Amino acid sequence: MQQGYCHPLSPNGRTSVVESPPWHYGADILFVSFRADEAEVRKLLPEPLQPGKDPGLAFAWIADIISCGADPDLIYKHPESSQYKEGLLAVSCEFKGTPGWLYPYVWVDQDFSLMRGWFLGFPKKSAKVFMTRIHEQNPILPQLGVGTSISGFVERYGTRPMAASLAITGRADREELPNIGNTYNIRHFPNVPGSTTPSIYDIVNIQPKNSRFGDIWKGDATLTFGGADDEEVRALQPKEIIAGYYYQVGWSNDIDATVVHTFL
Amino acid sequence: MQQGYCHPLSPNGRTSVVESPPWHYGADILFVSFRADEAEVRKLLPEPLQPGKDPGLAFAWIADIISCGADPDLIYKHPESSQYKEGLLAVSCEFKGTPGWLYPYVWVDQDFSLMRGWFLGFPKKSAKVFMTRIHEQNPILPQLGVGTSISGFVERYGTRPMAASLAITGRADREELPNIGNTYNIRHFPNVPGSTTPSIYDIVNIQPKNSRFGDIWKGDATLTFGGADDEEVRALQPKEIIAGYYYQVGWSNDIDATVVHTFL
Amino acid sequence: MQQGYCHPLSPNGRTSVVESPPWHYGADILFVSFRADEAEVRKLLPEPLQPGKDPGLAFAWIADIISCGADPDLIYKHPESSQYKEGLLAVSCEFKGTPGWLYPYVWVDQDFSLMRGWFLGFPKKSAKVFMTRIHEQNPILPQLGVGTSISGFVERYGTRPMAASLAITGRADREELPNIGNTYNIRHFPNVPGSTTPSIYDIVNIQPKNSRFGDIWKGDATLTFGGADDEEVRALQPKEIIAGYYYQVGWSNDIDATVVHTFL
Amino acid sequence: MQQGYCHPLSPNGRTSVVESPPWHYGADILFVSFRADEAEVRKLLPEPLQPGKDPGLAFAWIADIISCGADPDLIYKHPESSQYKEGLLAVSCEFKGTPGWLYPYVWVDQDFSLMRGWFLGFPKKSAKVFMTRIHEQNPILPQLGVGTSISGFVERYGTRPMAASLAITGRADREELPNIGNTYNIRHFPNVPGSTTPSIYDIVNIQPKNSRFGDIWKGDATLTFGGADDEEVRALQPKEIIAGYYYQVGWSNDIDATVVHTFL
Please state, rounded to an integer, the average pLDDT across all residues of chain B: 96
Task: Give the mean model confidence (pLDDT) for residues B24-48.
Answer: 97
DSSP B165-227: EEEEEEE--GGGS-----EEEEEEE--STT--S-SEEEEEEE--EEEEEEEEEEEEEEEEE--
Helix (H, G, I), strand (E, B) or coil at C144: coil
Letter for the amino acid at D256?
A: D
Helix (H, G, I), strand (E, B) or coil at D48: coil
Please state, rounded to an integer, the average pLDDT across all residues of chain A: 96
Distance CA B60, CA D137 (A): 43
DSSP chain A: --BSSSSSPBTTS---SSPPSPEEEEEEEEEEEEE--HHHHHHT--TTEE--SSTTEEEEEEEEEEEESS-TTHHHH-GGGSEEEEEEEEEEEEETTEEEEEEEEEEESSHHHHHHHHHTT--EEE-EEEE----TT-TTSPPSSTT-EEEEEEEETTEEEEEEEEEEEEE--GGGS-----EEEEEEE--STT--S-SEEEEEEE--EEEEEEEEEEEEEEEEE--STT-GGGGG--SEEEEEEEEEEEEEE-S--EEEEE--
DSSP 8-state assignment for residue B55: T
Task: Give the mean model confidence (pLDDT) for residues C149-170.
Answer: 98
Residue numbers in B near C82 (CB within 8 A): 132-133
Q: Between residues 155 and 184 of chain B, which touch chain D (CB distance below 8 Å)?
A: 155-160, 163
Which pLDDT score, from 0 to 100, does residue D230 have? 83
pLDDT at residue C208 tops 90: no
Which pLDDT score, from 0 to 100, does residue C178 have? 87
Helix (H, G, I), strand (E, B) or coil at B117: helix
pLDDT at residue B20 tops 90: yes
Find the angle CA(B56)-CA(B59)-CA(B60) to the nearest 5 degrees.
Answer: 140
Contact C110/B at CB under 8 A: no
Residue contact C231–D111, C-beta within 8 A: no
pLDDT at residue C256 tops 80: no
Contact A154/C at CB under 8 A: yes
Distance CA C162, CA C183 (A): 21
DSSP 8-state assignment for residue B113: H
pLDDT at residue B255 tops 80: no
Q: Are D92 and D99 in contact (CB under 8 A)?
A: yes
Q: Which chains touch B (3 or more CB pairs under 8 A)?
A: A, C, D
Per-residue pLDDT tens digits for A29-64: 999 999 999 999 999 999 999 999 999 999 999 999
Residue contact B10–A204, C-beta within 8 A: no
Name the region of C11 (left: φ>0; alpha: ψ -120 to 50; beta: rest).
alpha
Per-residue pLDDT tens digits for B80-136: 999 999 999 999 999 999 999 999 999 999 999 999 999 999 999 999 999 999 999
**Mutation site for A-interface testing, chosen from D141, D155, D174 by largest number of A Cβ within 10 Å:** D141
Low pLDDT (below 70) residues in chain D: 1
- Long-range contacts (CB closer than 8 Å, 24 or more residues apart) made by C110-113: C110/C81, C110/C83, C110/C84, C110/D126, C111/C17, C111/D114, C111/D125, C111/D126, C112/C17, C112/C18, C112/C81, C112/C84, C113/C65, C113/C67, C113/C84, C113/C86
Residue numbers in B near D157 (CB within 8 A): 130, 155
Least CB–CB distance from B159: residue in D128, D154, D158:
D158
Q: Which chain C residue has the Cα nearest residue D121?
A: C7
| Segments in chain C forming alpha helices (H) | 38-43, 74-77, 111-119
Contact C105/D at CB under 8 A: yes
Task: Band the pLDDT of C28: cuts 50, 70, 90.
Answer: very high
Least CB–CB distance from A160: residue in C128, C130, C158:
C158
State residue D140 phi and psi, 5-degree precision.
-115, 5
- A231/chain C closest Cα distance in angstroms: 14
**Mutation site for A-interface testing, chosen from C155, C156, C225, C233 by largest number of A Cβ within 10 Å:** C155
pLDDT at residue A208 tops 90: no
Which pLDDT score, from 0 to 100, does residue C254 have? 77
Which pLDDT score, from 0 to 100, does residue C229 have? 85
Residue contact D105–C254, C-beta within 8 A: no
Contact A145/D at CB under 8 A: no
Per-residue pLDDT tens digits for A4-15: 999 999 999 999
Contact A153/C at CB under 8 A: yes
pLDDT at residue A199 tops 90: yes
Which pLDDT score, from 0 to 100, does residue B217 have? 98
Residue numbers in B near A231 (CB within 8 A): 14-15
Measure the N-to-C terminal CA separation of chain C; round to a whole number of Å. 30
- C47/chain D closest Cα distance in angstroms: 8
Contact A193/B at CB under 8 A: yes
Distance CA D26, CA D213 (A): 9
pLDDT at residue B74 tops 80: yes
Pick the closest to residue D205 from B73, A142, A22, C193 (CA basis).
Answer: C193
Contact D151/A at CB under 8 A: yes
Q: Are B109 and B65 in contact (CB under 8 A)?
A: no
Residue contact D153–B155, C-beta within 8 A: no
Residues in chain B: 264
Contact A38/B at CB under 8 A: no
- C224/chain A closest Cα distance in angstroms: 13
| Segments in C128-208 forming alpha helices (H) | none
Per-residue pLDDT tens digits for C93-106: 999 999 999 999 99
Which pLDDT score, from 0 to 100, does residue B178 have? 87
pLDDT at residue B194 tops 90: no
pLDDT at residue B73 tops 90: yes
Q: Are D217 and D245 in contact (CB under 8 A)?
A: yes
In terms of pLDDT, which residue wins out, A135 or B179?
A135
pLDDT at residue B1 tops 90: no
Distance CA A111, CA A16 (A): 11
DSSP 8-state assignment for residue C245: E
Residue A224: beta bridge partners? Answer: A163
Per-residue pLDDT tens digits for D245-259: 999 999 998 777 899
Residue contact C9–D257, C-beta within 8 A: no
Contact C85/A at CB under 8 A: no
pLDDT at residue B262 tops 80: yes
Distance CA B186, CA B104 (A): 9
Per-residue pLDDT tens digits for A180-191: 889 999 999 999
Which pLDDT score, from 0 to 100, does residue D15 have? 95
- Which helix or strand (DSSP H or E) is residue C33 part of? strand C23-35
